[in-house]
């Protein structure tokens, strides 16, 4: 197992390297001079030249990339000019909020999606299967940002059940109940599409397993139907479901960007949008690379979990 984990970690190195190249090139190709965005009304030719020199923007593109990469490998992600603080400090401060939102949404989509898929497969062609299939198709068809805005309109503005936006009350908030109350709507809005995908693929995996000989054998021996479904069949189907969960984790993490904007959630996604608008290059590059690295590590954990369920995967 140790060798397999090391192999997966080594295979992640070129992926992360490719991510740094893509992010750097995209930011370099954005039209406009970052120095002009920084200086605004004070953008005299002398000041623009000084900013470009201080930020290293006057160096060749390849040299700028390797300077940035070398600094990042030593833990120096640079300093955000719009916030005047180290990039890594700002990313870490914001990542906690994003992790809370994305983690809650992922747990919701994993539990509800797998449960819906199992029930749907166990009651194939029945009313439960038809109802779940209809709900899944409806959930997949609704964009998360639109669902979020409708939830704000109905549950926050009209019914006043939940707060409109933010992570905590402006005055006197910040406790567990306050954060949980603010978390309900964005977490559900972000989880709906992923839940539908997990449910559909869980149903397919369960139906395939339920046709296997060992399931018929278990039923012939008199094993209870609940144990057959939730014990034997689900465990075998998890080998196919776990990779789906890994993909949906990436969807949830990336989807947090627009959900954070809709609900004004103070996470990395909202930080990246603000940084792009301000042309804060180092903050954008550092934030994207950090989030991408977290996603790569999570996928390695998913591969390890899958190999534990099915040792043949390691070969």
pTM of the predicted model as reported, rounded to 2 decimal places: 0.83
Chain Cα centroid distance, residue 207: 28
Mean pLDDT, all residues of the chain: 84
In order of 228, 248, 251, 314, the CA distances from 241 in angstroms are: 18, 11, 15, 17
Q: Is the predicted pLDDT of residue 3 greater than 70, yes or no?
A: yes
Q: What is the C-alpha to C-alpha distance for residues 151 and 282, in angstroms, rounded to an integer?
A: 35
pLDDT tier at 187, thresholds 50, 70, 90: very high
pLDDT at 312 over 70: no
pLDDT tens track for 47-69: 777 777 777 777 788 888 888 88
- In 3D space, the residue among 200, 295, 300, 188 whose CA is nearest the CA of residue 250 turns out to be 295
Question: Does 1.10.3720.10 match the CATH number of domain 103-279?
Answer: yes
Q: What is the pLDDT of residue 26?
A: 86
pLDDT digits (tens, 9 = 90+) for 212-224: 888 888 888 888 8
Q: Where are the domains of the chain?
A: 103-279
């Amino acid at each position: 197992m140790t060798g397999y984990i090391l192999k997966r970690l080594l295979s992640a190195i070129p992926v992360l390297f490719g991510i740094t190249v893509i992010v750097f090139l995209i930011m370099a190709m954005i039209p406009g001079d970052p120095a002009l965005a920084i200086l605004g009304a004070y953008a005299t030719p002398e000041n623009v030249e000084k900013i470009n020199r201080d930020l290293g923007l006057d160096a060749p593109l390849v040299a700028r990339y390797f300077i940035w990469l070398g600094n990042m490998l030593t833990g120096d992600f640079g300093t955000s000019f719009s916030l005047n603080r180290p990039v890594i400090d700002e990313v870490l401060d914001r990542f906690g909020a994003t992790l809370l939102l994305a983690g809650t949404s992922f747990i919701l989509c994993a539990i509800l999606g797998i449960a819906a898929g199992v029930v749907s497969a166990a009651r194939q062609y029945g009313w439960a299967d038809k109802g779940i299939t209809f709900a899944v198709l409806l959930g997949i068809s609704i964009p998360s940002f639109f669902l979020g805005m409708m939830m704000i309109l109905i549950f926050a503005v009209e019914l006043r059940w939940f707060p409109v936006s933010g992570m905590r009350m402006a005055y006197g908030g910040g406790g567990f109940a306050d954060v949980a109350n603010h978390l309900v709507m964005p977490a559900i809005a972000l989880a709906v599409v992923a839940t539908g995908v997990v449910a559909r693929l869980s149903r397919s995996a369960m139906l395939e397993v339920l046709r296997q000989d060992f399931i018929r054998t278990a039923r012939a021996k008199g094993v209870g139907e609940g144990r057959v479904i939730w014990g034997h069949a689900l465990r075998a189907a998890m080998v196919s479901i776990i990779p789906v969960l890994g993909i949906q984790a990436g969807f949830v993490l990336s989807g947090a960007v627009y959900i954070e904007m809709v609900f004004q959630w103070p996470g990395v996604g909202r930080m990246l949008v603000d940084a792009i608008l301000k042309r804060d290059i180092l903050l954008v590059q550092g934030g994207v690379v950090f989030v991408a690295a977290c996603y790569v590590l999570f996928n390695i954990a998913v591969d390890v979990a899958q190999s534990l369920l099915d040792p043949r995967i390691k070969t």
